[in-house]
Amino acid sequence: MSDPKPISEPKDVLDLTADVEAGYVNPHYTPIEISRRRFLGRISAVLTGVGAVVVAVPVGAFIVAPLFSSGPGEDKLWKDVGPIDQFKVGDTQAVAFDDPSPLPWAGVTARTAAWLRRDDAQKFTAFAVNCTHLGCPVSWLAGPSLFMCPCHGGVYNRDGTVAAGPPPASLNTYQVRILNGKVQVKATGIPISTE
């Protein structure tokens, strides 16, 4: 495609010889002439850039927002998991409760679980179900008194310490309290190990 109206090359540098000789202009001053065409080109580039930023900022913020959400208030995190006499001393059983950030459309995925053990009359331990290796759900096996992971072969002792396999750390635990005869677990996000 050829330009319908060819134009002469824009002069890059103004000819100021006469002004310099007359002493009006510093001899080291060499202003660059910006042609109309170059000006329009630059303006277009800048405007396009501004347009892109205007669109990109809210979109980017919207997408990375989950990284910075503050989560629910402290008091909302304690979840009932059942009346205290439902649990026998020495037993370890799975309990289910809502995770700390249940969105209305999360359905069944808003639930989460823990392995709750009644150590004595007033003391409970709640183990996170997530293997500290890569997060798969461990199972409590009452016979051998072990937690076993179905994925990469992690095994934990009764107290949550690593018995075998690749896990880098003991099972995580949740805080437990007893309120009005009910056992409550303090829900947190899915424990993620960074080791």
Partner 1 sequence: MRVFKRMGGWLEDRTGFYAALKPILDHKVPYTDWKNGWWYIFGSAVLVAFVVQVITGIALSTSYVSSAGEAYASLKFITDEAVFGNFLRASHSWGASAMVLLVGAHALHVFIIGAYKFPREMNWLTGVILLGATLAMAFTGQLLRWDQTAFWSVIVGANMAARTPFVGESLARFVMAGDTVGGATLSRFFAFHVFFIPGVIFLFIGAHLYLVIRNGISEPPKVGDVVDPKTYRQKYHDMLEREGVPFWPDALWRDAVASVGLIVIIVVLSIVIGPPELGREPNPTVLQAYPRPDWYFLWVFSVLALLPPRSEPFVIIAGPLLVGVMLFLLPLIANKGERSPLRRPWAMGFVLVLVVMIATLWIVGEQSPWSPAFGAQPLNASVVNSTNPQIQTGAKLFNEKGCEYCHMIAGQGGLRGPNLTNVGNRLNESQLITRILNGGNNMPAYGSTLKSDELNALVAFLKSRTK
Tokens of 65: 């927002």
Let me know how many helices (H) and strands (E) the chain has, helices first.
Answer: 2, 11
Least distance to partner 1, CB of residue 6, Å: 26
User: What is residue 192's DSSP assignment?
Assistant: -
82 versus 135: smaller Cβ distance to partner 1: 135
Which positions lie near partner 1, rule CB under 8 A? 64, 66-67, 69, 71, 94, 96, 99-113, 129-130, 133-139, 141, 143-146, 148, 150-153, 155, 157-158, 163-168, 188-190, 192-195
Residue 164: phi and psi, rounded to 5, are -165, 160
Q: Cβ closer to partner 1: 46 or 96?
A: 96
Cβ-Cβ contacts under 8 Å for 167 (sequence gap 6 or more): 131, 132, 133, 149, 154, 156
Cβ proximity to partner 1, 34 vs 142, nearer residue: 142
Question: For partner 1, which is the closer residue by CB, 24 or 105?
Answer: 105
- Work out how close the CB of 84 gets to partner 1 at its nearest, in angstroms, rounded to a whole number: 20
Identify which of residues 16 and 163 has a Cβ nearer to partner 1 in the complex.
163
Residue 8 or 70: the one with the smaller Cβ distance to partner 1 is: 70
Element (H, E) at 39: helix 36-64
144 neighbors 155 (Cβ within 8 angstroms)? no
Cα torsion through 51, 57, 58, 62, rounded to 10:
150
| Alpha-carbon distance values, 12 to 25, 30, 88, 166, 175 (Å) | 18, 10, 90, 68, 73
| Shortest Å, Cβ 185 to partner 1 | 13
Q: How far is the CB of 4 from partner 1 (least distance, A)?
A: 21
Do the Cβ atoms of 147 and 162 come closer than 8 Å?
no
